[in-house]
């Protein structure tokens, strides 16, 4: 079929066959053209005109195109929509071509390999990851930000959820896998992370990778890292010198927060919308540099669990708070520091221009002053930071001598190298300037000699230099003075032998000057490359300094305190506040609350009306713990905190519509995740678990979950509920205490006090909340009548608004039994609640995964429950 196409179309089809999953931007002259299916799809996605052309076949070929000088914007558009773009350039001078001009793909641009443009957000990393699956029991993962050169790798032991959570945490835009990877796994990655999937077969060692792989020993790490590097080498087709050695980390070195918990707590992303306002990141990011912003986000993704490392950060924040004036000066200096990491990446990648070098020089010029300020704080820890800063004086000197102060964006039009840097370039420039001075003198002399004041010497690319005289003045010229060159409507253009001679000299000097400048710039770029490791090290230190000053500024302005961290069971927050809500409220006064937990107070059962602040209270405890463990001061008047290894949350009732799961199923899955993985050192937040099903089912599940956490896990737990019957559990469970968010009735209206007090709430105030929402008055009255009837008829089995004093038992068994008996066969006794629970447990057992001893233990446990 291909034989009937023209040679050029055949060339296109051959290149396209090697890049099936990408739009092929095929260079033809001044345009990038797309053909066939690419053209049909691109014309819709980019909203450009679809045309057609002859290609040798009977039917015309669909075609669309974009000018090469404006292609970057179109490519960005496609990348942001999750597509890949293969850029195919002419690699042969058409003058020397025999037949079709040679063309080949010079770069594959993908969502994970973008280096600049709209796809790059200054304070966010753009990660591409690679995975290796070892029998679905462990997973190797490696990822890098091509624009900064940062790389990390880890091994995850356990379920696929760990892998999905890690990819979601880093926000990988693209995931590279081996071609025969399990399709279900890749589908889960696409669904959870919204990432593009790419494939790479090669994962063998390559000599070029030695520097990057120097810290890697385990096969689980080497395979994904090498697969990622092979993919980058194949698609980018250029230097990757700026990639840093991959940093190996273990998940157990950091506080674990699963994807849904991060979403519920709105740590870096809001639950709704894309604006960062309302997130913890939004509150804490007072950084002055892009590097600092990205580094802060990484800290938030992975809070520390090492007490010594946390305390070192807290100490530095304290030192920056104590040195107010130095901090103000530091903020001003940091504003003049550009993104050193991404500048280094552009240099290595070969797309840095002279203006990037000016930004690099201006940034490095701030380093000595920053070092001096930090050293002036006169402390061992600040001295370490100061000593780690490298001003790279040799590089600053090189850039100062070589690059013009206001260079053009293009590196091929001249004007980028300073006078005095290169002797040959100075000679060309001197010849060009002298020639142009001669032309200016010629114009002045000819005006005087001819008496024609409007005579001028001009230049254009077609005719070169010329003498122009208006038609009205031509009659004043001596015959034979000039040689006629061109006739215009209102003027005549002439030349002279001397003018053509000078023209040749000037143009030759200009052309050679531009060529030499470009060569000098490329040489300069190679020299700058040698400084990349030093630049990256300095960039990391500056980013940390930026975070410390940011934490200090926020802590001072918002009256945060330095938390005391320990490994015992005590949690004390006096006058704690929700940091984000407090900022959003602005001038309104935030009502602070205490939170006290210890060995005898491990679980708090929180009751109170809707909208009273239960969820806010729970969230503020979690956010305070996170802030402390990233090394920031916290919103309280006094804070003593244990170091949490994990945080689990179930807050909010949004259905998971994407995966088709109901609110209740999402509740149960998140509860299972917490119960399965939590330890005694974890923090669990459960908000109204069980509300997605019938009252008795929900209440039973809520009580069972509370009992299980209390008896089997022992984690610090905040559990809010509207099931007031559960408040009686404090008599059965020694480490559970009731607290409530208070409200009061004033003149028949409900007033939220937002104050957390010991004991259970006496009412739900559900109808009052409906009244606040301004439901119709007749509806409110009818609801009160129904409530009154239910309370009279049900006796003990009241709704959630029954007062605590009237409840004798945590869960009323009669009503539950009646509900279950509905499903019994005639003349058969109703299955008891205990029996049904045991049957469910038996049904859920996976006997194939148990050894005989485990099976015997489970059987013994079930027998005990039946005998009771």
Residues annotated as binding site for ATP?
608-615
For residue 293, the surrounding DSSP H or E stretch is helix 290-301
Q: By C-alpha distance, which of 353, 361, 342 is closest to 409? A: 353
Cβ–Cβ < 8 Å for 729, 736: yes
Cβ–Cβ < 8 Å for 105, 67: no
Reduced to 3 states (helix: H, G, I; strand: E, B; else coil), residue 689 is coil
Contact partners, residue 831, CB within 8 Å, separation at least 6: 820, 821, 823, 824, 839
Residue 531, φ and ψ in degrees, nearest 5? -95, 0
Alpha carbon distance 336, 323 (integer Å):
21
Alpha carbon distance 661, 647 (integer Å):
23
Q: By C-alpha distance, which of 53, 48, 71 is closest to 9? A: 53
Residue 836, φ and ψ in degrees, nearest 5? -65, -40
Alpha carbon distance 529, 125 (integer Å):
22
Residues making up the binding site:
608-615
What CA–CA distances, in Å, run from 819 to 696, 699, 791?
A: 8, 13, 19
Alpha carbon distance 482, 566 (integer Å):
95
Cβ–Cβ < 8 Å for 33, 26: yes
Contact partners, residue 614, CB within 8 Å, separation at least 6: 606, 607, 608, 687, 720, 741
Give, as one character, the DSSP assignment of residue 558.
T
Pairing of strands 464-470, 491-495: antiparallel
Sign (positive/negative) of CA torsion 682, 687, 691, 693?
negative
Beta strands in 146-222 (DSSP E): 151-157, 174-177, 196-199
Q: Is 683 left (phi over 0), alpha (psi -120 to 50) or beta?
A: beta
Cβ-in-10-Å burial (0-12, 13-18, 19+) of 864 comes to exposed
Cβ–Cβ < 8 Å for 582, 558: yes
Which value, in Å, is the radius of gyration of the alpha carbons in the chain?
36
Contact partners, residue 81, CB within 8 Å, separation at least 6: 45
Contact partners, residue 779, CB within 8 Å, separation at least 6: 770
Cβ-in-10-Å burial (0-12, 13-18, 19+) of 791 comes to middle
Q: For 346-361, what is the HEC assignment?
A: HHHHCCCCHHHHHHHH
Q: Is 194 left (phi over 0), alpha (psi -120 to 50) or beta?
A: left
Alpha carbon distance 349, 145 (integer Å):
13
Within 10 Å of residue 83's Cβ, how many Cβ atoms? 19
Cβ–Cβ < 8 Å for 260, 649: yes
Beta strands in 345-482 (DSSP E): 456-460, 464-470
Cβ–Cβ < 8 Å for 259, 168: yes
Contact partners, residue 705, CB within 8 Å, separation at least 6: 671, 675, 686, 689, 690, 719
């Amino acid at each position: 079929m291909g034989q009937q196409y023209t040679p050029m179309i055949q060339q296109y089809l051959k290149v396209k066959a090697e890049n099936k999953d990408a739009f092929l931007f095929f260079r033809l002259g001044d345009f990038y053209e797309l053909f066939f299916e690419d053209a049909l799809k691109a014309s819709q996605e980019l909203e450009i005109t679809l045309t057609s052309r002859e290609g040798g076949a009977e039917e015309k070929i669909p075609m669309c195109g974009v000018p090469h000088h404006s292609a970057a914007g179109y490519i960005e558009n496609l990348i942001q929509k999750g597509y890949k773009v293969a850029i195919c350039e002419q690699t042969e001078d058409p003058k020397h071509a025999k037949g079709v001009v040679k063309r080949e793909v010079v770069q594959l641009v993908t969502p994970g390999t973008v280096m600049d443009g709209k796809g790059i957000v200054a304070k966010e990393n753009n990660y591409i990851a690679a995975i290796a699956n070892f029998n679905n029991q462990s997973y190797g993962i490696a990822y890098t930000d091509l624009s900064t050169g940062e790389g990390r790798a880890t091994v995850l032991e356990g379920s696929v959820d760990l892998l999905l959570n890690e990819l979601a945490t880093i926000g990988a835009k693209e995931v590279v896998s081996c071609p025969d990877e399990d399709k279900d796994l890749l589908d889960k990655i696409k669904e959870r992370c919204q990432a593009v999937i790419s494939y790479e077969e090669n994962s063998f060692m390559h000599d070029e990778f030695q520097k990057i792989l120097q810290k890697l020993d385990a096969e689980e790490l080497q395979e994904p890292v090498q697969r990622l590097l092979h993919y980058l080498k194949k698609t980018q087709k250029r230097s990757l010198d700026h990639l840093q050695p991959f940093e190996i980390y273990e998940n157990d070195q950091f506080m674990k927060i699963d994807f849904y918990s991060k979403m519920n707590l709105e740590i870096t992303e809001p639950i709704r919308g894309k604006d960062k306002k309302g997130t913890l990141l939004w509150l804490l990011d007072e950084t002055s540099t892009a590097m600092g912003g990205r580094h802060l986000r990484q800290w938030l993704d992975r809070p520390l669990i090492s007490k010594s490392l946390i305390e070192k950060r807290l100490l530095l924040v304290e030192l920056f708070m104590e040195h107010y004036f130095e901090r103000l000066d530091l903020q001003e200096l940091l504003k003049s520091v550009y993104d050193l990491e991404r500048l280094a990446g552009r240099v290595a990648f070969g797309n840095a221009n002279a203006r990037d070098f000016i930004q690099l020089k201006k940034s490095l010029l701030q380093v000595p002053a920053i070092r001096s300020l930090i050293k002036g704080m006169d402390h061992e820890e600040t001295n370490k930071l100061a000593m780690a800063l490298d001003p790279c004086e040799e590089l600053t000197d090189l850039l100062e001598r070589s690059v013009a102060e206001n260079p053009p964006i293009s590196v091929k039009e001249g004007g980028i190298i300073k006078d005095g840097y290169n002797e040959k370039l100075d000679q060309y420039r001197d010849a060009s300037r002298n020639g142009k001075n001669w032309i200016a003198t010629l114009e002045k002399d000819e005006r005087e000699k001819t008496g024609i004041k409007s005579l001028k010497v001009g230049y254009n690319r077609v005719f070169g230099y010329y003498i122009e005289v208006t038609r009205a003045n031509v009659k004043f010229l001596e015959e034979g003075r000039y040689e006629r060159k061109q006739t215009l409507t209102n003027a005549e253009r002439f030349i002279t032998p001397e003018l053509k001679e000078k023209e040749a000299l000037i143009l030759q000097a200009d052309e050679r000057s531009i060529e030499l400048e470009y060569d000098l710039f490329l040489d300069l770029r190679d020299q700058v490359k040698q400084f990349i490791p030093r630049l990256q090290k300095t960039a990391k230190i500056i980013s940390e300094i930026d975070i410390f000053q940011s934490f200090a500024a926020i802590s001072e302005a918002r009256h945060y305190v330095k938390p005391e961290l320990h490994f015992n069971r005590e949690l004390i927050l006096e006058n704690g506040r929700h940091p984000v809500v407090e900022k959003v409220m602005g001038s309104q006064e935030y009502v602070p609350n205490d939170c006290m937990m210890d060995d005898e107070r491990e679980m708090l059962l929180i009751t109170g009306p809707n909208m009273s602040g239960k969820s806010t209270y729970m969230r503020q405890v979690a956010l305070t713990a996170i802030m402390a463990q990233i090394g920031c001061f916290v919103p309280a008047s006094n804070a003593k905190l244990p170091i949490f290894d994990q945080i689990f949350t179930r807050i909010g009732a949004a259905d998971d519509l994407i995966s088709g799961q109901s609110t209740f199923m999402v509740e149960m899955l998140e509860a299972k995740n917490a119960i399965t993985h939590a330890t005694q050192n974890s923090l669990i937040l459960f908000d109204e678990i069980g509300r997605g099903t019938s009252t008795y089912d929900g209440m039973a599940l809520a009580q069972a979950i509370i009992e299980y956490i209390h008896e089997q896990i022992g984690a610090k737990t905040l559990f809010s509920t509207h099931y007031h019957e559960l408040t009686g559990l404090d008599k059965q469970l020694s480490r559970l205490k009731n607290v409530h968010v208070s409200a009061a009735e004033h003149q028949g209206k409900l007033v939220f006090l937002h104050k957390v007090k010991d004991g259970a709430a006496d009412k739900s105030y559900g109808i009052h909340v409906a009244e606040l929402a301004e439901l119709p008055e007749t509806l409110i009255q009818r609801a009160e009548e129904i409530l009154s009837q239910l309370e009279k008829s049900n006796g003990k089995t009241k709704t959630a608004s029954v007062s605590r004093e009237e409840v004798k038992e945590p869960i009323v068994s009669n009503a539950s039994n009646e509900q279950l008996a509905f499903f019994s066969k005639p003349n058969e006794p109703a299955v008891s609640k205990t029996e049904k629970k045991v049957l469910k447990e038996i049904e859920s057992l996976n006997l194939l995964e148990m050894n005989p001893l485990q099976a015997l233990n489970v059987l013994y446990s079930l027998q005990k429950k039946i005998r009771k």
